[in-house]
């Protein structure tokens, strides 16, 4: 298996980011989002982001196989030092170690930018993701019961955090 590299996302990554995000939506593994995204929507999303809220991509053999973003947690100024994490892995790459490469780089980037804390929301059914988050220092702080209605059933969401120091 070839090495995974991580870098900042650019214009040339938009189609892959949209595809990977749409796989996450379709597979119901990581988001309560139900509407598929277009490359044009993802272009606007990427180009409207500040330096403080970057998107990173992971590549294997020159192909984008995952992406992660540091997102604004809340528009109130008191929350400016909290980053919300999103991370999505291409369907065929799940369970092949890309998260173990990408997530530490995102955590390092959050520290470099000056965030005090990272938070994320995860489905309890995403056991591999939960294990990875905990192995990299996130801790469970609560659960939103029946947080969203997905495919006619109520879905719980686990909230996790990591104090960056």
DSSP string, 62-82: TEEEEEEEEEES-SSGGGTTE
Domains of the chain, earliest start first: 4-116 (3.40.630.30)
pLDDT band of residue 36 (cuts 50, 70, 90) is very high
Tell me the pLDDT band of 165, cut-offs 50, 70 and 90: confident
Tokens of 122: 């995860």
Report strand pairing: 117-122 vs 82-89. parallel
Distance between CA atoms of 38 and 31, rounded to whole angstroms?
16
Q: How many angstroms separate the CA atoms of 89 and 31, rounded?
A: 12
* pLDDT of 61 strictly over 90: yes
Instruction: State the DSSP code for 56.
Output: E
Return the half-sphere exposure (C-beta side, CA atoms, 13 A cut-off) of residue 157: 17
47: Cα separation from own chain's centroid? 17
Mean pLDDT of 45-72: 97
Express each pLDDT in 105-161 by its tens digit: 999 999 999 999 999 999 999 999 999 999 999 999 999 999 999 999 999 999 999
Q: Does residue 31 surpass a pLDDT of 90? A: yes
Summarize pLDDT for 68-99 with one digit per residue, the tens: 999 999 999 999 999 999 999 999 999 999 99
Residue 98: its pLDDT value, please?
A: 97
**Distance of alpha carbon 88 from alpha carbon 30, whole angstroms:** 8
């Amino acid at each position: 298996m070839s090495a995974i590299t991580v870098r900042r996302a650019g214009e040339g990554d938009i189609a892959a980011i949209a595809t990977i995000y749409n796989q996450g939506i379709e597979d119901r593994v990581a988001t309560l989002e139900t509407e598929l995204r277009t490359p044009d929507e993802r272009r606007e999303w990427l180009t409207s982001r500040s330096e403080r809220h970057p998107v990173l991509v992971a590549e294997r053999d020159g192909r984008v196989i995952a992406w992660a973003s540091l997102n604004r947690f809340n528009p109130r100024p008191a929350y400016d030092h909290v980053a919300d994490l999103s991370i999505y892995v291409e369907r065929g790459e799940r369970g092949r170690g890309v998260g173990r490469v990408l997530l530490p780089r995102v955590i390092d980037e959050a520290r470099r930018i000056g965030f005090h804390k990272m938070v994320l929301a995860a489905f309890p059914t995403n056991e591999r993701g939960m294990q990875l988050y905990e192995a990299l220092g996130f801790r469970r702080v609560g659960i939103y019961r029946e947080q969203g209605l997905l495919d006619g059933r109520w879905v719980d969401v686990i909230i996790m955090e990591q104090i960056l120091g």
